[in-house]
Amino acid sequence: MILNSQQIRWFCEHQDMISPFVDHQNRNIGKKRVISYGLGGFGYDLRLSEKDFRVFRRTGGDIIDPKSFDADHLFSSRLIEDGSGKYFILPGHSYGLGVSVERLSIPKHIEALFIGKSTYARCGIIVNMTPGENGWIGNLTIEISNSAPVDAKIYANEGVCQALFFSGELPEIVYESSRKYQNQPERVVLPKI
């Protein structure tokens, strides 16, 4: 069963499922319009942190190996600010890694699914769909692809993806504290096995 806004609010207020928690859809910071974040009818829109955003380098001949990832394949993107807000540039036909402002603590009988927001999707920006396993805790590393042929602004401290939460019977398998991506900080966590 997918959780609705009342159920998500309850888990956030009583079990600290999302922190910091915004109990409504926020579409403004001061007088400035932003890409919405916060609680929705059946989900929660997470924000992209300004603390860490990395983009894959354009090099020929290199191979990405998820079993032995070379951090030199990435460079830290510079945070830029203008009248539209704070943002990173994601070059056309490239891929970047960011991290959520919010820290999640997913209860043992809930599974989360993270999907892209339509505002970005309409610009050719794809947020990879990834799971948030039951029992997982941390700031989410967010994978973002720019399928457009032009560079794109990816806004910090604004909505970047939506978390959907599904409840079920308590399973016998839970994401344990010793697992590789448990307790991720507010920085990009690279692939590991």
Tokens of 168: 């079920």
Answer yes or no: 50 catalytic: no
How many other CB atoms sit within 10 Å of the CB of residue 37? 26
How many other CB atoms sit within 10 Å of the CB of residue 21? 16
Catalytic residue chosen out of the listed positions 50, 143, 169, 172: 143
Give how far Cα 127 sits from Cα of 64, 130, 163, Å: 19, 9, 12
CA distance 93 to 148: 6
CA distance 138 to 52: 15
Tokens of 58: 């354009």
Residues annotated catalytic, as ranges: 143
